[in-house]
Structure 1
Amino acid sequence: MKYKEYKFVDFNPSWKGEPPVRLSLVPYWFLAALRVVLTLLPQNGYVHPDEYFQSVEVVAGDVLDIDVSRPWEFNRTFPIRSITLPFLTVGLPLTFLRKFSSLVTEWFDINIQTPYTLLVTPRLAACLLSFVADYSLYRICCAYGQNYRTRLITLASSYVVLVYGTRTFSNMMEMVLLSLLLFLVADCMSFSDRVIHHDEFLSEKYRTARSPVERVNVFKMRSALPPHSLTHCVTVATITVAGIFNRPTFIAFAFPPIFFWLHRGLGSKTVGFKDFHLRSLTFILSGIPTVLLFIVVDSFYYGYLTNSEIQELKVTLNNFVVTPLNFIRYNINSKNLAQHGLHPCYLHFLVNVPLLYNVLGVVSIITFIKMIYRGACKQWSSLPRIQSIIGLMTASFITPIITLSMFPHQEARFLIPVTLPVVFLHAQRMQPSPEQPKKRKVIPGRGPAIGYLLTVWYLFNILLTVFYGFLHQGGVYPLMDHLSEEMQTKPRFTVLHVVTSHTYSLPLSLLQLHNSKHVVFNRRTGEKYQRARQFFTYEMGSKPLEEVCLKLEKLLEDCEEKSVSKKLDYRLYLVLPASLSEDFHNILYSSNATFSHSVSRVFYPHVSTEALPRFLGGAECFEDDLVGFCDSDRIYQSPLKYISRLMEQFGLILMRVTKRTHSRTRE
């Protein structure tokens, strides 16, 4: 198969005018710098709890020795997550921050280990890792003579890269590993094609040689051809194993690249099934050391394997834990998945793909439907060739989505790894089709008009970057920063209790609380003790506000009792989206609650999809000295007042809850 057969045209081949002008890479470098800048701002948006609770919360507790909310996936009885990659991607940056902070504190008496640095340091590491996808895309395009400028600009302008690519998601690591895997496989395919082409050419020359001298020369040239069958075998196997231990769903993403790596050149005169079986065996053997490494590290971390057991030679199979197997065992049980939400099988194709890639997603789905139609009509020649780069990218997009659609729990972030295949296949489709110079529409001072697809692409990515990067749960980080300052300035024997409603889980690692489980030794008295906890959180999720009020009353009663018996002061807070403040006031006013409240602070902007702002209707709220209440019969008198009340709903309220000193009578 000749190398030139892989080339496909980015522009309309029927256009006979001037050759298309290459796009400048200046927009790409601007977008690449923007990715770093948005990471350092930082983005206050809180996309999903897993960006903290599957990496930062776990690793920060071990590296910084602080109190954290350790998620159930990392429990020691049945762990389903490997700790190796999180320690490499999050643990190393936090270790550097801890040591560098201690040096700065010692030399300059400045504490740089703040909530800001704890938030930004792991994200900056994730941001730098995301550039692996850019580099992989560039190298693939160069290997196959494709337009890398358009694709790089499209990739860098995607909100998937700007937002998800700078967060510590395991899905982000899947994107990085799959991009690197696709680059290595594409490089192997290109290299094998060239070697096989030369080998077949020299074989024909050897067969038609007329003299022994000519045959000897051709034989020497064939012998000088480099080996290609096992190129990058160890690296491909290592990346595959690392991806599976990072998240076992990586099997679905890695299957197409591995399939194409094994089938390189199969069917040609020089590559047969013997080479296929040799590649398969070598691939399996190459992955075994990495598998053993991950298993041993996880077994030590979760306490299944200890040094004493190794020294006493009391090691059995029960001393090892294989987290991917536990992950699969947990997720094949539909009852377990029901706890996280069940979704229809078509959600990935009809909702998640367009949500992640808007124009590119719709084009990808339409292209896939056309492929199915052509296959049903037996138009085999119009389908991607099995050993081409288009076939590799198409399979790397379709196969994972079909596989993941079989599982009833589906989230958009699960499809982040297919970003590179989508961009490679369809980025050039958004560019305006070149027209004849006479028909080309030109705007004075701006050049050719931008295609409407490209306009839609940039518009949606800007909106989604603003929404997920800064608005969605955007008040949580400022809240944690405020609580961190309060924990440092509060009186010594004062305990904080924080109740959250219709808000994501609070990442306690940002508070840098002393590890309450750590045993402290007093050298003067010789006693051992544990520091008492001074911060408690109570997550109410999306439960009705009536239950939230009952929870507050119970907590207030317990705190008052401990205040009398143990002489412990307390501060009780409620964290609530501003869009629910009116309902909360109404419930308190109608139920004659035993506590009063006051607004300590409001953090803007904040949008909670569990409690969206009310764009139509509404009521004005009033407050007396006891409790706030609303008059639902009042109507906004002016558009400015309506806009003002609407903007007030885009916030996260921190309310101080105290015991009512006197009763309130309703007239």
Structure 2
Amino acid sequence: MFLKTQIFKALAFKNPIRLPISYWMLVGLRFLLTLLPQRGYIHPDEFFQNIEVIAGDVFGVDIARTWEFNPKFPIRNIFVPKMILGPPLIFIRALNPYAKSYLKVDLATPYYLLVVPRIFICLLSLINDYCLYRTCVLYGQNFRNRLVIFASSYIVLVYCCRSFSNTFEMMFFSILLLLVAECMLRSDRVIYHNEYLQEKYRQAKTPVERVKIFKLTTHLPAHSLSRVIIISAVVIIGVFNRPTFIGFAFPPIFFWLHRGLGSKVIGFKDFHYRIFAFVLCSVPTALFLILVDSGYYGYITMADVESLKVSWDSWVVTPLNFLRYNIDSKNLMQHGVHPRWLHLAVNIPLLFNVLGGLAFLTLSTHAYRFIRGQYSKLPRIQSITGLMLFSLIIPIAVLSIFPHQEPRFIIPVLVPLIYLYGNHLHPNESNGINYRRLKNGLRWTWFVVNILLTIFFGFFHQGGIYPFAKSLHYEIKGNYGTHTHVILTHSYSIPTYLLQLESTTKIWKNRNTGHKYRLAPSTFIYKYGSIPMRELFMKIDEELSNAEALLHKHKKNYRLYLASPCSLHQKILSESYKYHHIDLVEDFSYYPHFCTEALPEFPSNHDQYCIKEISKNKSTAIDINIIDRISCYLRKFCLKVYRVKTSDYIK
């Protein structure tokens, strides 16, 4: 009985949470930055790949439904964004009437529509923290240092609070790593005790001793198929969320299948049983997600099910469509083709800075030892270090195969990276003075770089779009019926759901006459990208002419805006002088707004634009000192909004 008690004590994973104050301060900072809110706009996919579509479904408003959600060839699963983004948006919709009545607060405004879902995602991001903490506790590693390093990463402070599908992918990856780590530890302990009891059984001299040992063996908990149902569900949901999750899930599943393989009690029979059980348990989740997508995209209806009119064409498998789309190199070229070394040479340093360098040096050392045949100095293949090492290398290697590479694609590997090397930034008692100084220097470099990148991506990058959308929202609501045209150039597009435009696809019914009708659109957003100025003004001229025609024919008042980075101000003015019937009036300027599509040139000491800004004297030509030039240069990082109208002379 004593041995049995010890076995179950060893298998009980109970540890109290004792986290440092610095970690809780960083968690508080994560929520504070989200509440401010973060004005930065990392990539259009943070809106148009998830929340834009879900907001359209919840509020019944006009949205920009991207090609990825085209029912003819959908490549995005709807279940994951519905489950994550649906609750906060439904909360806003349900609470808004009461907030308006009792608090005089409208929740269907850009601030709340932006912040409430992000707060919910921030709460979910703590899953990553918990999984890292729990894995460290299970294997007796220092979780305090690692959690502080993890929580101070700008990936956690910025990316993990946005509605990227990559953010959700990181959560699933963290959960999967923790589940597999628990299964590995459990199997190691059960196998150790099983082998120990078998050895004692062989050494037993009497039948009574053998019977006692055999009974102890039967009391060992099952471990071979532990967590198979939840692991298979996480993998399938992760793949439907982003099919690239296959690359992230491969190492953990490989280690889960190989637990104990090569020991005296685990053989290839167990390995094949695990594969069979994993595949079998994956089928219900996969069928459920296929059914959800098929229903959402209109491939199957309840009437079809009731009448049994279901065929192969009634189903849609979004991950399969995703792979079919991305296999075609012509499709990838539309989104940008990158060199295959971009992740290794650019994205890893950008995302992980000093930790990426430490990983590169450590992995180079392991490669050298492997080439030299020093296998005893390498991490054990079936250890937690081996799991984290392969979970770091394999996803990056798989994603590097595809020529379209963005930094956010590899943010989930932050978890294994922090587990492996996060503690390397903190000195210990055995380190010498120089080594301590080096580690302290690396740690402070980590903090400083992540602070700068948090400010840049959280507030500077495309930072003028949100305040412009906020102003536009109130202007549209305050001028109901006025046609609003917004032309954007060299900037990301405005998330349409923030404007809360009345649906033009929904069928309305007149209560008095019973007549059914649809609302005509009154707000038009044009995204022209980085087109040349000549073509841009041809578009402006065309939209202005159409708006003027509606004004004179149907008395439809209009407002036409042009939004452009401030760095293009001179080019826009120069081109506008060619159109004598067009007047451009500077309406607003939103700071800061960093835009790689139109980086400003550093002004010379005779730059006329800077002279006008500084001296406010158009005729005076003076030399500008370096401080004024720098100040002028920084002022060009803004988003300028022009009011476009016909010239008073023409009128």
> What TM-score comes out, normalization by structure 2 length?
0.93
Q: Please give the alpha-carbon distance, in whole angstroms, between the structure 1 residues aligned to 2:46 and 2:641.
A: 23
The partner residue of 1:369 within 361, 364, 371 is 364
* Partner residue in 2 for 1:99: 94
Contact 1:553 1:594 in 2 (8 A): no
Q: Please give the alpha-carbon distance, in whole angstroms, between the structure 2 residues aligned to 1:613 and 1:557.
A: 31
Superposed CA deviations along residues 324-363 of structure 1, whole A, max 9, x for unmatched, are 0000000000000000000111111111111100001111
Structure 1 stretches of 4+ moved >6 Å: 629-633
Kindly report which structure 2 residues correspond to 1:404-419, keeping only aligned pairs within 5 A, or say none: 404-419=399-414
* Partner residue in 2 for 1:533: 521
Contact 1:619 1:634 in 2 (8 A): no
Residue 620 of structure 1, CA deviation: 3.1
Which of the two has greater helix per residue? Answer: 2
1:543 counterpart letter in structure 2? I
Answer with 349-358 or 545-554: which moved more.
545-554
Residue 254 of structure 1, CA deviation: 0.1
For structure 1, the 5+ residue unaligned runs are 1-22, 443-447
* Partner residue in 1 for 2:9: none
Kindly report which structure 2 residues correspond to 1:360-509, keeping only aligned pairs within 5 A, or say none: 360-432=355-427, 434=429, 451-490=440-479, 492-509=480-497
The partner residue of 1:658 within 636, 645, 650 is 645
* Partner residue in 2 for 1:637: 624
Distance change >3 Å, CA 517–CA 368, structure 1 → 2: same
Give secondary structure in 2 for the equivalent of 1:82.
coil
Give secondary structure in 1 for the equivalent of 2:335.
coil
Distance change >3 Å, CA 631–CA 70, structure 1 → 2: farther
1:556 counterpart letter in structure 2? L
Identity over the aligned pairs, expressed in percent? 48
Q: Please give the alpha-carbon distance, in whole angstroms, between the structure 1 residues aligned to 2:617 and 2:534.
A: 17
Answer with 606-615 or 102-111: which moved more.
102-111
1:34 aligns with 2:21: no
Distance change >3 Å, CA 457–CA 632, structure 1 → 2: farther
Distance change >3 Å, CA 225–CA 458, structure 1 → 2: same
Answer with 211-220 or 466-475: which moved more.
211-220
Kindly report which structure 2 residues correspond to 1:35-184, keeping only aligned pairs within 5 A, or say none: 35-184=30-179
* Partner residue in 2 for 1:203: 198
Residue 593 of structure 1, CA deviation: 4.3
Superposed CA deviations along residues 386-440 of structure 1, whole A, max 9, x for unmatched, are 1001110010010011111111100000001111011111111222354679x58
* Partner residue in 1 for 2:264: 269
Contact 1:620 1:630 in 2 (8 A): no
> What TM-score comes out, normalization by structure 1 length?
0.91
Answer with 425-434 or 506-515: which moved more.
425-434
Give secondary structure in 1 for the equivalent of 2:192.
helix
Contact 1:576 1:654 in 2 (8 A): yes
Give secondary structure in 1 for the equivalent of 2:563.
strand
For structure 2, the 5+ residue unaligned runs are 1-17
Contact 2:611 2:618 in 1 (8 A): no
Q: Please give the alpha-carbon distance, in whole angstroms, between the structure 1 residues aligned to 2:110 and 2:488.
A: 20
Q: Please give the alpha-carbon distance, in whole angstroms, between the structure 1 residues aligned to 2:400 and 2:439.
A: 35
Contact 2:425 2:439 in 1 (8 A): no
The partner residue of 2:500 within 499, 509, 512 is 512
Residue 615 of structure 1, CA deviation: 3.0
Residue 24 of structure 1, CA deviation: 6.7
Give secondary structure in 1 for the equivalent of 2:84.
helix
Give secondary structure in 2 for the equivalent of 1:613.
coil
Contact 2:551 2:557 in 1 (8 A): yes
Contact 2:565 2:595 in 1 (8 A): yes
1:520 counterpart letter in structure 2? W
Residue 219 of structure 1, CA deviation: 1.2
- Number of aligned residues: 631
Residue 622 of structure 1, CA deviation: 9.4
Distance change >3 Å, CA 304–CA 58, structure 1 → 2: same
Q: Please give the alpha-carbon distance, in whole angstroms, between the structure 1 residues aligned to 2:213 and 2:618.
A: 95
Q: Please give the alpha-carbon distance, in whole angstroms, between the structure 2 residues aligned to 1:321 and 1:502.
A: 36
Contact 1:582 1:630 in 2 (8 A): no
Q: Please give the alpha-carbon distance, in whole angstroms, between the structure 2 residues aligned to 1:353 and 1:436.
A: 27
Residue 616 of structure 1, CA deviation: 4.1
* Partner residue in 1 for 2:586: 599
Q: Please give the alpha-carbon distance, in whole angstroms, between the structure 1 residues aligned to 2:390 and 2:431.
A: 35
Task: Name the Cα RMSD after superposition.
Answer: 2.3
Distance change >3 Å, CA 108–CA 454, structure 1 → 2: closer
Contact 2:118 2:161 in 1 (8 A): yes
The partner residue of 2:569 within 581, 586, 589 is 581
* Partner residue in 2 for 1:13: none
Contact 2:584 2:645 in 1 (8 A): yes
Q: Please give the alpha-carbon distance, in whole angstroms, between the structure 2 residues aligned to 1:550 and 1:634.
A: 34
Distance change >3 Å, CA 421–CA 614, structure 1 → 2: same
Distance change >3 Å, CA 460–CA 630, structure 1 → 2: farther
Residue 113 of structure 1, CA deviation: 2.1
Superposed CA deviations along residues 94-153 of structure 1, whole A, max 9, x for unmatched, are 011110112323444532221111001211121111111100001111111101111101
Q: Please give the alpha-carbon distance, in whole angstroms, between the structure 1 residues aligned to 2:440 and 2:325.
A: 47
Residue 586 of structure 1, CA deviation: 2.5
